[in-house]
Structure 1
Amino acid sequence: MAENSAISWTRHTWNPWMGCTKVSPACDGCYAEALMDKRYGKVQWGHHPRVRTGTHTWNDPFRWQRQAEKDGDRPLVFCASLADIFDNQVPGDWRADAFDVMRRTPRLVYLLLTKRPQNIIRLAREAGGLPPNAAIGTTCEDQQRADINLPALKSAYWVTRPLFTFASFEPLLGPIHIPPGVMPHWIITGGETDQGSHRARPTHPGWFVSLRDQCAAAGVPFHHKQNGEFLPEDWLDKDGYQWQAGYACPKVHRFSDGTACIRVGKKQSGRKLDGVEHNAFPPLPVSVEEAHHG
């Protein structure tokens, strides 16, 4: 459902179905709900039937596979940006069909991001096993979710044997210290953006910096997707950030340590973290055989 994704950490997005149910604070500002439910009315969010996408969408991976064969590369494919691949309210045969497409497109690397990592082992087994060209990841927006989801992801890794594990700390809603022994192979961070009637919550810049430094200490690739709607006040006059005179009604959020963040909008806030873009990706094997047989 996207030829080339606007998401910085993937080449394509693929949505075999649409719809989901909210399970954590990260879901409060769900862009998929705002887009596909509230704006376009294509699916109802919550405990309602999911909607399977059409033939054209299901054929997209085969086009990408042919192009990847010509180019000799291994593009990343985020599945699914408008749903959750390990949502237990999805018919099991849909997931089996999706996994079959993944197996038939081995040059593509599928990023299976879920807010339900506890479901990975069971649902992957029921769908015939995790495809060998898939990576598994989970969303952690605060310490509570990190303490629950990262150990579940680690457990799933040892059973399903994906290419690698990753974690998306977006929207980052609180400080996170990654518990010992559960550091993923790749970390993505990002601030929240406005979605429909939902107004973005600010992220303290120190929360991003802490995760960046934890990755550096562990030798883990770090990718910072976006700052969200806010920037720290002391970043606005340096490192390429320019305060726009006359910006309509900037809203200031002051954290308990005195750090002030100003609502400047997603475009103005950009992707730089204290003046630096972080675009790291995990190293990808040339082939699935290389990944699993060395």
Structure 2
Amino acid sequence: ACENCYAEQWAKRVGQQLWGKAAPRRLFGEAHWKEPLAWNESARVARQRQRVFCASMADVFEERAELDEPRLRLWKLIGATPHLDWLLLTKRPENVGRMAPWGETPWPRNVWLGTTVETQQHAEKRLPHLLKHTAAVRFLSCEPLLGSIDLSKWFQRDGLNPIDWVIAGGESGPGARPMHPDWAKNLLKQCRDAKVAFHFKQWGHWVPAEIAEQTAKVTVINLPKEKPVEMVRLPKKEAGRILDGRTWDGFPAIRVPAHA
């Protein structure tokens, strides 16, 4: 889990122990399992696909015995909702091959697979596992971005981009760590050079002073091999999502055709 896990913080606020290695995993009720079927029908009628960010407060590929049955149920639900694009984001891509029913064969058109990459170390560890799988879209969530990341060796292999989409953002919540603007700008440049879709989600709670509208609290980040930069702590919404003078809402193309 993240060091400053928003899901864990939410659970503490409502007085429930839902996160941590020893905590039991709780599942949504039947009403939630039925909702995607209704979304799928609406998407079919409208002829407009909808996206589902699956298990935003969990990891579908967590290795726990009590999750085996719900995982099987999820695969069936995904198969029954071909008009929905399911985004599966994991910090455990090494588990995908033995938990997902599609293995290393071409995945269904409506399944996107992503992994969280906060630092270069996480990129080196997780990307080789992610790239084993031919999901319709393979994406990275570089959020919270905690260091400079070089993705160049995973871009443009044999004229193709193994990575379709990069999402980047800073950390929010209590104890949020500032994101150096150069880390985000560097990712943006890499994606533009490689023609990879880039989405800048948020600054989080820390924004460069040069684009902040107020300076409630200022700190100077002194990082090895990084230039110092003034950062202002603001509420997340006020910090916004402007990078290099504009917003970035890149969106990926589907990699594989539909198949049965």
Q: Same fold (TM over 0.5)?
A: yes
Q: 1:132 & 1:94 partners in 2: Cα distance?
A: 22
Assess if the C-alpha contact under 8 Å between 2:200 and 2:249 holds in 1: yes
Looking at structure 1, the residues matched to 11 and 79 of structure 2 have their Cα atoms a distance apart, in angstroms, of: 28
Show CA shifts across 1:194-236 (max 9, x none).
1xxx310000000000001110011110001101111112223
Amino acid at match of 2:135: P
Distance between the aligned counterparts of 2:74 and 2:35, measured in 1? 12
1:233 aligns with 2:191: no
User: Which residue of the partner structure matches residue 115 of structure 2?
Assistant: 138
- Please give the alpha-carbon distance, in whole angstroms, between the structure 2 residues aligned to 1:291 and 1:38: 44
1:151 aligns with 2:128: yes
Matches within 5 A, 1:171-210: 171-181=144-154, 183-194=162-173, 198-210=174-186
Q: Which residue of 2 aligns with 1:169?
A: 142
- In 1, the alpha carbon distance for the partners of 2:258 and 2:38 equals 25
Deviation at 1:49, TM superposition (A): 2.3
RMSD over equivalenced CA pairs, Å: 2.1
AA partner of residue 181 (structure 1): W
Give per-residue Cα distances to partners, 1:42-90, cap 9 Å, x unaligned: 6243233211110111011011111101211111110110100111115
Aligned partners of 1:37 and 1:44 also within 8 Å: no
Among 234, 242, 251, the alignment partner of 1:272 is 242
CA–CA distance in 1 between the matches of 2:11 and 2:163?
Answer: 31
Is the CA contact (8 Å cut-off) linking 1:113 and 1:138 kept in structure 2? yes
Q: CA deviation at 1:275?
A: 2.0
Write the distance in 2 (CA, Å) between the matches of 1:165 and 1:47.
31
Q: Distance in 1 between matches of 2:197 and 2:73?
A: 31
Q: 5 Å matches for 1:72-91?
A: 72-89=47-64, 90-91=66-67
Q: Which amino acid aligns with 1:191?
A: G
Would you say the 8 A contact 1:62–1:105 is kept in 2? Answer: yes
State the alpha-carbon separation in 2 of the partners of residues 272 and 58 from structure 1: 36
C-alpha separation between the residues in 1 aligned to 2:63 and 2:102?
11
In structure 2, C-alpha distance between the alignment counterparts of 1:255 and 1:265, rounded to whole Å: 23
Q: 1:263 to 1:78 in 2, by over 3 A?
A: same
The residue type paired with residue 291 of structure 1 is P
- Count of aligned residue pairs for this structure pair: 247
Q: Identity percentage over the alignment?
A: 36
CA distance in 1, matches of 2:205, 2:71: 35
Amino acid at match of 2:167: I
Stretch deviating more after TM superposition (177-186 or 166-175): 177-186
Q: Deviations over 1:136-189 (max 9, x none)?
A: 00001011001111111112x1xxx32110000000000000151365110000
Q: 1:69 to 1:206 in 2, by over 3 A?
A: same
Measured in 2, the distance between the counterparts of 1:44 and 1:142 equals 23
Listed one character per residue, the Cα deviations across residues 263-289 of structure 1 (whole Å, up to 9, x for unaligned) are 12212110111321001111248xxxx
Picking from 203, 208, 219, the partner of 1:252 is 219
Aligned counterpart in structure 2 of residue 291 of structure 1, from 236, 253, 257: 257
| Whole-angstrom CA distance in 1 between matches of 2:244 and 2:214 | 15
Deviates more, 1:216-225 or 1:129-138: 129-138
User: What SS is found at the alignment partner of 2:114?
Assistant: strand
Counterpart AA for 1:140: V
Q: Distance in 1 between matches of 2:176 and 2:246?
A: 23
Give me the TM-score of the superposition, normalised by structure 1: 0.78
- In the TM superposition, residue 36 of structure 1 has moved relative to its aligned partner by 2.9
Seen in structure 2, the aligned counterparts of structure 1 residues 40 and 71 have a Cα distance that, compared at 3 Å, is farther
In the alignment, residue 153 of structure 2 is paired with which amino acid? P
Gaps of 5+ in 2: 156-161
Q: How does 1:36-75 map to 2 (within 5 A)?
A: 36-41=11-16, 43-75=18-50
* Conserved 8 A contact 1:141-1:169: yes
Is the CA contact (8 Å cut-off) linking 2:108 and 2:258 kept in structure 1? no
